[in-house]
Amino acid sequence: MSSAPRTATERTKLPYCHESFHNLQELRHSASLANKVFIQRDYTDGTVCKFQTKFPSELDSRIERTLFEDTVKTLNNYYAEAEKIGGQSYLEGCLACLTVYLIFLCIETRYEKVLKKISRYIQEQNEKVYAPRGLLITDPIERGMRVIEISVYEDRGSSGSSSGSSTTSSSGR
C-alpha cells in the first residue's frame, strides 16, 4: 500500500479523492473516523459567540491555513450578525414586549434565520472544501455552541473493501 499523501494539494491530485470523497455520504461510509479536533470559543470580547482562529496542529497536513481561517472568520461574522444589538433587534424586542413575548411563538427570530444561513454555509463548506480533504465540520449548534468539531477521516485503502475493524493506524501508512 502506498504511503498517504502529506499535503492537501497532493491529495487533490489523486484520482480517488474526487471519486470516493466527493460525496459526503461516501465519506462517512468508505472512510473511518481517525480523530476529532475541537475549536474552542474565544471569550476575549465577552459572552458573544466567537471561535478561536488559531490553526490547530492536527490539521497541519490536511488543509491550508487560509481556508480554515476563512471558514472560522465567516462563521464568527455570521454569529456577530445574529447577536448584533441595533435598530432591528430593538424593534423586535419592543414589539415582543408589547405582545408579552407571544410573538416568539409565531414568527422566526432574526437569530434563527441567521442560524439557518450558518447551517447552509457549513453544508456548502463541507461539500466543497472539507470533504475532498477527508474532513467534516459539525455545526456548533449541535454541540451547544461551545466548539466547532472537525472530524478527521482516514481512508480505509484504495481497494474499497471495508475491513470491518475501526483501527485506522494501519491504513495508508
Partner 1 sequence: MLDGRRAPRRMKNREYQQIDPQALATPPPRPPPEHMPKRARRKWEVFPGKNRFCCDGRIIVARQSGVLPLTLALIVLTSGLFFIFDCPFLVEHLTGCIPAIGGVLFVFVIISLLQTSFTDPGILPRATPEEAADIEKQIDNPTGLSSSYRPPPRTKEVVINQQVVKLKYCFTCKIFRPPRTSHCSLCDNCVERFDHHCPWVGNCVGKRNYRFFYTFIVSLSFLTAFIFGCATTHLALRSQGGNGLVVALQASPASALELVVCFFSVWSIVGLSGFHTYLVAANLTTNEDIKGSWSGKSGNEDVGNPYSYNSIIKNCCSVLCGPMPPSLIDRRGFVPSDDSVQTRPVEIELPAAKNDINMEKDCLDFALSCAG
Calculate Rg over the CA atoms of the chain: 20
> Per rule CB under 8 A, is residue 104 in the interface with partner 1?
yes
Out of 8, 17, 31, 115, point to the residue binding partner 1 (CB under 8 A): 115
Out of 112, 120, 163, 167, point to the residue binding partner 1 (CB under 8 A): 112
Q: Which is nearer to partner 1, 7 or 88 (CB)?
A: 88
Q: Which of residues 47-86 bind partner 1 (CB under 8 A)?
A: 47, 82-85
CA atoms of 131 and 17, how far apart (whole Å)? 9
Which residues make Cβ contacts (< 8 Å) with residue 30, sequence separation at least 6?
Answer: 20, 21, 155, 156, 160, 162
Q: Of the ranges 1-9, 45-53, 63-71, 157-165, which one interacts with partner 1 (CB under 8 A)?
A: 45-53
Q: How far is CA 144 from the centre of its chain?
A: 14
Residue 28 grid cell: 462517512
Query: At its nearest, how many Å lie between partner 1 and the CB of residue 117?
Result: 13
The size of the interface with partner 1 (CB under 8 A), counted in residues, is 36
Out of 10, 22, 43, 160, point to the residue binding partner 1 (CB under 8 A): 43
Out of 53, 55, 147, 171, point to the residue binding partner 1 (CB under 8 A): 147
- Reduced to 3 states (helix: H, G, I; strand: E, B; else coil), residue 156 is coil
Out of 96, 119, 121, 172, point to the residue binding partner 1 (CB under 8 A): 96
Q: What is the DSSP letter of 51?
A: B
Angle formed by the axes of helices 87-98 and 110-125, to 10°?
Answer: 130
107-114 contacts, C-beta under 8 A, 24 or more apart: 110/82, 111/82, 111/83, 114/78, 114/79, 114/81, 114/82
> Per rule CB under 8 A, is residue 165 in the interface with partner 1?
no
Where does this chain bind partner 1 (CB under 8 A)? 36, 38, 41, 43-47, 82-85, 89-90, 92-94, 96-97, 100-102, 104, 109-112, 115, 141-147, 149
